[in-house]
Structure 1
Amino acid sequence: MGRVVVVGSTSMDVVARVDRIPGPGETVTGSSVTLSPGGRGANQAVAARRLSAATVMVGAVGSDGFGSALREFLRAEGVDVTSLAVVDGPSGTAVTTIDEAGESVIVIVPGANATVSANGLDALRLGPGDMVLLQNEIPASVNAAALDRARAAGARTLLNASPHRPTATGQPSTTGQPSTTGQPTATGQPTATDLLAEVDVVLVNEHEFTGLVPAAVGVGSLPGPRALVEVRGLLADGAGPNDNIVVTLGGAGVCARIAGTVVTLAGRRVPVVDTAGADDCFCGAFGAGLAGGLPAATALFHANLAATIAVQRPGAGPAMPTRAELEDLLTGGGP
C-alpha cells in the first residue's frame, strides 16, 4: 500500500450565519460564527487519513494562532505534518457568510498558502505506490514542481483543478502543445493547460469542467454530463497522460472516464447539512482508495459514498467520515 501525499492549502474557515446576505455598504446581525480547520489540501488529507491511508501534508501555515490550530488539528488526525512548514505571517483564511437559504459569499485570503514549496517532497522518497494530490489553491508553479518530482519517482498524480484557473489567453501554449512542467511557457509560469496535460487524473465538479472545455466545442449543446465525459479530446491538450477525468455532479453522483472506460454512479438522497467539503472528501477518499490498491471503479464508488456522509455534517475537515463509517455504509448499515 502506498501513501497519499497532499501538496496543497490549509486555512481556517470563519463561517458567519445570517438571515440574509448583506448588500454593499450594509450591516446585518449574524446568528452565529464558527471556526473550522479547512483548506482544500488539509480537507483532502483528513479525508484520506480517516479512511486509514498513510497520509502526508506538504504545505505551509502561518506563525499566528490559526497556524498552530491547523497544524495541531492535522497532527491529531494522524496526518504526517513533518513537511508542513511554519512561515512568518498569517495563515490562510476563508471568511464565509451563509444565509438561511444556504446561499453564501466567500472571501479567501491565501496567507501562508502563497509560500508553499514543492521542496517539502524531497525528503519523502516518493515511490510508485504513492498518490500525490494537488489543488489550485497554491501557486501553479508549485503544482508543476510537485508533478516533476512525482513523475520522476514513478508516483501517480491527481489534480483537483479547483478553483478553476484559466490560462492567460484561454488557449494552449503558443506551440499548440503542452509544455513540460520543467519548461513553462513564455510567461515564465506553467499554464493550467500544461498541468492538465501532465497529471494522471483530473478531478473537477461539473461547473468547473465546463471552464476547461474550449468555447468552440459548444458545451451547452451537449446532452449532459455523461456526454462531457464520453467525448474525448474536449480539453485543449487532453486530460492527462491517460485522458483520465472525474466529474463530480453534487447530489447527482459522479461521471468518470478512467483508462478509456466510462463510469457513472448515482448520488444517494440524504439530508444535506453542509456541502462545503464534499468535493474534498471525494478527492481524498478516491486518492486513498487508489493508494490502497483498489481498482479505479471501486475507489470511485467508495469516494461517492464517503461524500454522502460528509454532507450530512457541518464544517469541512471535521466532517470527513472514518473507515468504520464508510464500511458501515458499504454493508448497508449506514444512512
Structure 2
Amino acid sequence: MITVFGSINIDLVCRTAHLPRPGETVPGSDYELIPGGKGANQALAARRAGASVRMVGAVGGDDMAAIALAELERDGVDLGALVRRGPTTGMAVITVDSHAENTIVLSPGANARLKASDLDAVRPGAGDTLLLQMEVPFAESLAAARAARAAGARVLLSIAPFLPIEREALAEADIILVNETEAADLARHLGLPVGSGGAETVATLSGALGCAVIATLGAEGAVAASEGATIAVPALEVVPVDTTGAGDTFAGVLAALLDQGESLETALQFAAAAGSLSCTKAGAQPSFPRRAAIEEALAGAPSFP
C-alpha cells in the first residue's frame, strides 16, 4: 500500500507561443482547469501503474475541490483520509510555450493547513510506502516521515519544488528523488561537490547521505545511486507536447513498482518510460499512462531488456 501525504491542486493552464518576460503581456489560448498538485499527481500515477494508493491531503470549501478530486475518485484512489480546511483549494497557474516548457505560480490554499496528525487514521506500517513532496509544510512531512519509518514503512521523498533541507531531516528518507538541477542545488546546499553530470552528483549525494538518491535527467532518462552502485536507464524517444507532469509521473510509478516488490532497476525502467509517455499529451493528470501502456512501450523499446 502506498500512502501519499501531499498537495492537491487545480492547475489553471494557458498556452502561448513563448513565455512572457518580466512586464510583458503575451496572447494565450483558452484556459483549462485540470486536476493537479504534486501529491495528487503522484498518487494518480501510482494508481494507474497498478498500486493500491490512499491520498492524505487537504482541499478547501470552494467549488474547485470537486474538480481537483475528480481523477483520483475516477481511478479509485482511497480518499478516506481527505480533510477540508479553509476557503480555497490550492491552485497552480501554469503557462506552457510552443516548446513544451512551462512556468508555474503556486497558491497553496488548503495545502498549507495539512497536518501530520491527519495520517493517524491510516498509519503506514511495515511493508508500506510513504510518498512525500514539498508542496505542504515540510515540518508536517518530516513528522509524517518519522512516524512512518518508526512503524517500518519505506519513505520516498521527492524534493520538488526544491527547498534547502538540512542533512538531519534527509536522514528520515529511504529514497530521495530529484531532477538534475535539484540534485546540484542539494549538493551545493550540503557543501558537497557538484559533479560534471547527474550520475556523479547523485553518487556523491548517496554516499554522503547514506540512502538511495535518484535523479531524473529529462530526455537522458534517469540515474540512481545506492550502496555504492549506480544504475542508469534511458528515456523513451518521444515528441514532447507538455512536460508538466513528467516528474510526478516518474515518482508515482517508481513508488508503485517498488511497493509491488520490483527491483530498483526495474522500477527505474518503468518510471522513466512512464515519464516519457506523459510528455506526449497535454496537461498533467490526463497524460499519466496506465500500466498496460507502460508495458507496451517498454516491450517496443530496443534499449530495454
Separation of aligned partners in 1, 2:169 and 2:181: 19
Residue 170 of structure 2 is matched in structure 1 by 196
Does the 8 Å contact 1:15/1:97 carry over to 2? Answer: yes
Separation of aligned partners in 2, 1:70 and 1:51: 20
Does the 8 Å contact 2:126/2:153 carry over to 1? Answer: yes
Separation of aligned partners in 1, 2:241 and 2:100: 9
Cα distance change on mapping 1:25 and 1:232 into 2, 3 Å: closer
Separation of aligned partners in 1, 2:18 and 2:70: 34
- Which of 59, 62, 84 in structure 2 is aligned with 1:61? 59
- Between the two proteins, what is the percent identity of the paired residues? 41
Does the 8 Å contact 2:133/2:160 carry over to 1? Answer: yes
The one-letter amino acid of 1:214's match is R
Task: Report matched runs for 1:200-215 at 5 Å.
Answer: 200-214=174-188
Cα distance change on mapping 1:313 and 1:17 into 2, 3 Å: same
TM superposition shift of 1:227: 1.5
Task: Report matched runs for 1:9-88 at 5 Å.
Answer: 9-88=7-86
3-state SS of 2:142 partner:
helix
Is 2:291 aligned against 1:328?
no
Does the 8 Å contact 2:12/2:94 carry over to 1? Answer: yes
Cα distance change on mapping 1:232 and 1:107 into 2, 3 Å: closer
TM-score (norm 2): 0.92
- Which of 139, 143, 146 in structure 2 is aligned with 1:145? 143
Structure 2: stretches of 5+ with no match in the other structure: none
3-state SS of 2:30 partner:
strand
Does the 8 Å contact 1:21/1:97 carry over to 2? Answer: yes
Separation of aligned partners in 2, 1:232 and 1:8: 24
CA deviations over 1:21-46 (Å, ceiling 9, x no partner): 34445443322211111110000000
The two structures, once aligned, show a CA RMSD in angstroms of 1.9
TM superposition shift of 1:229: 2.3
TM superposition shift of 1:333: 8.2
CA deviations over 1:129-178 (Å, ceiling 9, x no partner): 11100001111111111112101210000000111111xxxxxxxxxxxx
TM superposition shift of 1:328: 1.5
Residue 188 of structure 1 is matched in structure 2 by none
Residue 213 of structure 2 is matched in structure 1 by 245
The one-letter amino acid of 1:295's match is S
- Which of 210, 216, 225 in structure 1 is aligned with 2:198? 225
- Which of 109, 112, 115 in structure 1 is aligned with 2:110? 112
TM superposition shift of 1:218: 4.2
Task: Report matched runs for 1:151-300 at 5 Å.
Answer: 151-166=149-164, 191-214=165-188, 216-219=191-194, 222-231=195-204, 238-239=208-209, 242-300=210-268
Residue 100 of structure 1 is matched in structure 2 by 98
Does the 8 Å contact 2:183/2:202 carry over to 1? Answer: no
The one-letter amino acid of 1:91's match is T
TM superposition shift of 1:258: 2.4
Separation of aligned partners in 2, 1:23 and 1:206: 24
TM superposition shift of 1:110: 0.5
The one-letter amino acid of 1:273's match is V
TM-score (norm 1): 0.84
CA deviations over 1:43-81 (Å, ceiling 9, x no partner): 000000011100000110111111122223311111001
CA deviations over 1:93-149 (Å, ceiling 9, x no partner): 001122334443321100011011122221214221111000011111111111121
